[in-house]
Amino acid sequence: MRNSSPRIRVSRPRRATLAALLLCAALAPAGTVHAAPKTDVVYFTNGDRLTGEIKGVEKGKLELSTSTAGTVNIEWDKVARIETGQYLEVETAAGTRYHGRVPGAQLEGSIRLAETGQAGEQPVAIADVVRIAPIDQGSLVERLDGYVTAGFSYAKADNETELNFSGGVSTRNKVREWSLDGMTTINTQSDERSTSMYDVTLTNRRFMQDRWFAQFFGSVQGNQELALDIREVLGAGMGRFLVQDSHSEWSAVAGLAYNRENFRSQPVQNSLEAVLYTGYSFFVYDTPKRSFDAGLAVFPSLTESGRVRAEADVDWRIELVEDLFFDLTFYGSYDSKAESSAPSNSDYGVVTSLGYSF
């Protein structure tokens, strides 16, 4: 779940971020696994072929590391067949997972996996494949995907400035996926008190059969508009991919969370909350690459009668040149029983920024 005084208390979030990074490192396999030789072959529907090292298939694209052209992203629906000696996990839209290697003599439009040199009885149609993950993909750093964005606006009329920063990293192996995302917004005006907010979230998913997964998450937040100095949340739940194909994913999660928060004029409060979350992603890798992501999390309190919190974010992204993108984001927060001194029980905003992905 991804998802603010001008002198934002960054020390707490930084410590939380450091702890999250250390946790992520602990989740990584011990030692460094050497990269596979660049001898995999990708055959295209137009008859061309490209040799390299298959890094995986995710969200409709095949990532291939080549010796001459660096890392290239190939639209999965343009692939006719592949050959590789790597041991792969192949997942279909129905949630079924297969394991094995993909030797030569493959039929076009399908993948026939082999465990010990003998191909499986039934081929897997390429059109049904939504994810491929080599079991050994190198060190943690080599498996990281990430992004950073920055935005700035200024209005002369009231000398108002707004700074926005966000960033994140993620990785996935055979059984789990984790992501670390953070964002902050700082708004200053000449005649009014400045405001700011921040959010750092670590998420871990452990995959199961039939598109089910267990999800664990932790976050640190602050929002001056809601008079919230700091909120620390730890939670877990069960989720399932409701839709999963080469261009979209829709998931839902239900669970429980422990909430520790400190409002401006109140002592530290502890509570237990239910967690209801749904997230949708749509992605297109034809030029220009573009994506749309939306998420909504609702936290009905189990220990404070009548209290409901909610957080939402909507993000639209389009690539301008390779790895450089324009980002338009809407975010919102709501608390039915916000601190009495808070200017409002809700906060929302629209952010435009430029970003870089890696």
Identify the CATH number of the domain in which residue 293 sits.
2.40.230.20
Tell me what pLDDT residue 13 has: 37
Tell me what pLDDT residue 4 has: 34
The answer on pLDDT for 150 being more than 90 is yes
Of 99, 134, 169, which one is at a domain's C-terminal end? 134
**Is 2 within the bounds of a domain?**
no
The answer on pLDDT for 14 being more than 50 is no
Same domain (yes/no): 89, 158: no
User: How buried is 306 (Cβ within 10 angstroms: 0-12 exposed, 13-18 middle, 19+ buried)?
Assistant: exposed
Domain that holds residue 52: 40-134
- 42-92 pLDDT per residue, tens: 999 998 999 999 888 888 889 888 888 778 888 888 999 998 888 888 888
Of 76, 104, 134, which one is at a domain's C-terminal end? 134
- 222-266 pLDDT per residue, tens: 988 788 899 999 999 999 999 887 788 899 999 999 999 998 878
Same domain (yes/no): 97, 220: no
Tell me what pLDDT residue 72 has: 86
The answer on pLDDT for 15 being more than 70 is no
Q: How many domains does the chain have?
A: 2
Tell me what pLDDT residue 116 has: 54
- Would residue 39 be called left, alpha or beta, if left means φ above 0 and alpha means ψ between -120 and 50 degrees? alpha
Same domain (yes/no): 240, 94: no
**Residue 342: which residues within 8 A CB-CB, separation 6 or more?**
225, 226, 227, 228, 263, 264
Same domain (yes/no): 308, 235: yes
Q: Which of 178, 180, 158 is nearest to 169 (CA)?
A: 180
The answer on pLDDT for 217 being more than 90 is yes
The Cα 331–Cα 352 span in angstroms is 12
Same domain (yes/no): 169, 296: yes
Same domain (yes/no): 328, 235: yes
The Cα 133–Cα 99 span in angstroms is 10
Tell me what pLDDT residue 25 has: 40
Residue with the two structure tokens 């409901």? 308
Same domain (yes/no): 258, 346: yes
Q: Which of 136, 179, 137 is nearest to 24 (CA)?
A: 179
What's the average model confidence in pLDDT over 93-120?
A: 75
Tell me what pLDDT residue 316 has: 94
Of 134, 160, 192, which one is at a domain's C-terminal end? 134
The Cα 205–Cα 238 span in angstroms is 9
Same domain (yes/no): 47, 80: yes
Tell me what pLDDT residue 33 has: 40
- 260-306 pLDDT per residue, tens: 999 887 889 999 999 999 999 998 877 788 899 999 999 999 999 99
The answer on pLDDT for 355 being more than 60 is yes
Same domain (yes/no): 152, 184: yes
This prediction's pTM: 0.68
Same domain (yes/no): 60, 195: no
Tell me what pLDDT residue 32 has: 38
User: Mean pLDDT across the chain, nearest whole number?
Assistant: 81
**Is 35 within the bounds of a domain?**
no
Q: Which of 92, 97, 102 is nearest to 36 (CA)?
A: 102
**Is 3 within the bounds of a domain?**
no
The Cα 292–Cα 84 span in angstroms is 32
Same domain (yes/no): 195, 285: yes
**Is 6 within the bounds of a domain?**
no
pLDDT band at 112 (very low <50, low <70, confident <90, very high): confident
Same domain (yes/no): 129, 169: no
**Is 33 within the bounds of a domain?**
no
